[in-house]
Structure 1
Amino acid sequence: MTTTFPNPRADRLRELLAGDDLLLSPCCYDALSARMIEQAGFEMSFMSGFAASASRIGMPDLGLMSYGEVLDHTRNIAEATRLPFVADGDTGYGNAMNVIRTVKGLGRAGAAAVMIEDQVAPKRCGHTPGKAVVSRDLAYDRIRAAVDARQEQDVLILARTDARHDHGLGEAMERAAMFHELGADIIFVEAPQSEAEMRRICDELPGPQMANMLEGGATPILPHAELRDIGFRIAAYPLTLLSAVMATAVETLAALREDRVETGRLMEFGELRDRIGFNDYYTRADRYES
């Protein structure tokens, strides 16, 4: 008899999706950024493949991170935060059996949901040139396998299609509708190019829809109220936090070379220690003699 491993984070994400408000999901790129998203009061996060690749290996999101690296990254994030979060499972790292292993592994590592997409491997960031998708049959097999993995590991499936880029919105929506029919919990049509396309996605497709708010990307950046009105259930911000941190780092490093760092712009050392967890560590350690 097959045993399904429970997943409290998946249960929590289902509770959030059962509500009627827009879920704001700043994307984390490592354990510290995940911790800060929780400290800021958000209810969920998303481990952005773009940002995680940049943070972990210092390289672009072009399928260069291995399954093992993504699994380890997911585990580190899960240990740093109690928030439910989505892990980016890319194309599943192989055939349908690899997809099953990927979904089970990331769910057991602590992800509330795993995203599986229909790009060819190696995949590319959804807002960069050169991406292409696999055939419908192969795309459907990936989602069918991801759903089958839930028989052994409780986890939500976020099904993504990048077909809008080369094949138009109609093809992307047909794929997305089938993803839902196959059992995907959340649908993500990547890179719609206008507000009208975004409205069509939410009006015509079943199930919860996710919007990807990538500054400088192909999709319009809309206020939260408009995203709610359109009907999206999740708004992911894949690079907002990483971009802010990198911009500040570039500026600070340039200032440091010129011996003009303004300490007033830096986080105070006491707050930095507290946010990282030093104070909590000392409080808990006081219970023990050594």
Structure 2
Amino acid sequence: MAFRSRREKLRSILSGSDCVHPGSVYDAISTRIAEDLGFPLGMFGGSVASLAVLGDPDIALITLTELAEQMRRMSRAAALPVLVDADHGYGNALNVRRTVQELETAGAAGLTIEDTLLPAGFGESKTHLISLEEGVGKMKAALGGRSDPSLVIMGRTGAASITSLDDTIRRALAYEATGVDALFFTGIKSRTELEAISAATRLPIVLGGAPEELNALDHLASQRVRIALQGHAPIAAATQAVYDTLKTLREGTAPKNLKGLASSELTSRIMREADVKSRSADVLGLKK
């Protein structure tokens, strides 16, 4: 399959002994930049997907179709393996199956399915989890929807910040038993919690946001953490840059006097201009 090598690279990270930081990506350009800089993996988060596609906050407004189409654009642009935050799978367990099918054909190297109750219910301001039984059903459906066995499917829970450490471990063990490839945790607050989770489980671990004491890659690696997210700074930086540039132009600065713009060399490299010119010479008879 066309995307199998990307998925095998992600599996190699999970089966290795090191912990890596993925590059936060959200569109074709950011994915190419992360690949050019040598990131071993891209992370396509739900919050950046909602912001990049809709300009909306991360409150489960983006649809599966929109997420998959954006992933398809990113897959076309670069060969970087990308792990996709597939939220709750966009519905019940049957919807989860469809989510896996769509993201697999869109080129994702892996995806996460979480047990958060989404979207928020009427009158509910607090985050809730679905039942353990429903969570297990979603993991089984995700695995059943996979056609390419190299596609990585991760069971994700935020129980550490919503219910308890004991519930986190209980859910992790149940998801592990379904046959998922890795466990993704958010809300872990200390080394003690991570060590308890690591001791109770056996699958590779992926960490979402974590406190400063969980930043040391050597300690994370010793606890079987193979991927540790660093938030989504790139889209925040891009937003600020666009804002500042448009504001400066609006205030009357001439385009030639703008600061901080990408050089023509960098832009040319990101758009793969040399490759396009070479192909144009070969098939259109144009001069290189």
Report the TM-score range of the alignment, normalised by the length of the smaller protein. Answer: 0.7 to 0.9
Contact 2:207 2:229 (C-alpha < 8 Å) held by counterparts = yes
Which stretch shows the higher mean deviation, 174-183 or 223-232? 223-232
1:233 counterpart SS class: strand
1:240, distance to aligned residue in structure 2 (A): 2.0
Matching residue within 89, 94, 102 for 2:91: 94
Using the alignment, how far apart are the partners of 1:36 and 1:168 within structure 2? Answer: 39
2:89 counterpart SS class: coil
Using the alignment, how far apart are the partners of 2:234 and 2:21 within structure 1? Answer: 13
What is the CA deviation profile of residues 90-141 of structure 1, one whole-angstrom value per residue up to 9, with x for unaligned ones? 11122222111111221121111111110112169xxxx7321101110110
Contact 2:20 2:217 (C-alpha < 8 Å) held by counterparts = no
Unaligned runs of 5+ in 1: none
Using the alignment, how far apart are the partners of 1:249 and 1:199 within structure 2? Answer: 42
1:200, distance to aligned residue in structure 2 (A): 2.6
Using the alignment, how far apart are the partners of 1:115 and 1:123 within structure 2? Answer: 19
Matching residue within 78, 82, 86 for 2:79: 82
Using the alignment, how far apart are the partners of 1:76 and 1:174 within structure 2? Answer: 37
How high is the TM-score relative to the length of structure 1? 0.87
Matching residue within 163, 167, 170 for 1:167: 163
Residue 247 in structure 1 maps to residue 278 in structure 2: no
Which stretch shows the higher mean deviation, 185-194 or 221-230? 221-230
Residue type of the alignment partner of 2:282:
R
Using the alignment, how far apart are the partners of 2:100 and 2:8 within structure 1? Answer: 16
Contact 2:159 2:165 (C-alpha < 8 Å) held by counterparts = yes
What is the CA deviation profile of residues 49-99 of structure 1, one whole-angstrom value per residue up to 9, with x for unaligned ones? 100110111001111011111111111111111121112221112222211
1:278, distance to aligned residue in structure 2 (A): 2.3
Unaligned runs of 5+ in 2: none
Residue 64 in structure 1 maps to residue 61 in structure 2: yes
2:6 counterpart SS class: helix
1:246, distance to aligned residue in structure 2 (A): 2.1
Matching residue within 102, 109, 114 for 2:106: 109
Contact 1:26 1:240 (C-alpha < 8 Å) held by counterparts = no
RMSD, aligned α-carbons: 2.4
Contact 1:45 1:84 (C-alpha < 8 Å) held by counterparts = yes
Matching residue within 33, 37, 40 for 1:36: 33
Change (3 A) 1:229 1:15: closer
Residue type of the alignment partner of 2:96:
V
Using the alignment, how far apart are the partners of 1:30 and 1:188 within structure 2? Answer: 23
- 1:284 counterpart residue number: 279
Contact 2:47 2:58 (C-alpha < 8 Å) held by counterparts = yes
1:243, distance to aligned residue in structure 2 (A): 1.9
Using the alignment, how far apart are the partners of 1:144 and 1:240 within structure 2? Answer: 33
Q: Give the percent of matched residue pairs that are identical in Structure 1 and Structure 2.
A: 28
Change (3 A) 1:51 1:190: same
1:133 counterpart SS class: coil
1:205, distance to aligned residue in structure 2 (A): 2.1
Contact 2:16 2:226 (C-alpha < 8 Å) held by counterparts = no
Using the alignment, how far apart are the partners of 1:206 and 1:190 within structure 2? Answer: 18
Equivalent residue pairs, number:
278
Using the alignment, how far apart are the partners of 2:3 and 2:263 within structure 1? Answer: 40
Using the alignment, how far apart are the partners of 2:142 and 2:148 within structure 1? Answer: 10
Using the alignment, how far apart are the partners of 2:266 and 2:162 within structure 1? Answer: 48
What is the CA deviation profile of residues 180-227 of structure 1, one whole-angstrom value per residue up to 9, with x for unaligned ones? 1111111012111223223332333211001124xxxx6436143443
Residue type of the alignment partner of 1:243:
A
Contact 2:207 2:225 (C-alpha < 8 Å) held by counterparts = yes
Deviation beyond 6 Å, 4+ runs, structure 1: none
What is the CA deviation profile of residues 239-269 of structure 1, one whole-angstrom value per residue up to 9, with x for unaligned ones? 1211222233333344334445864522212
Which stretch shows the higher mean deviation, 202-211 or 176-185? 202-211
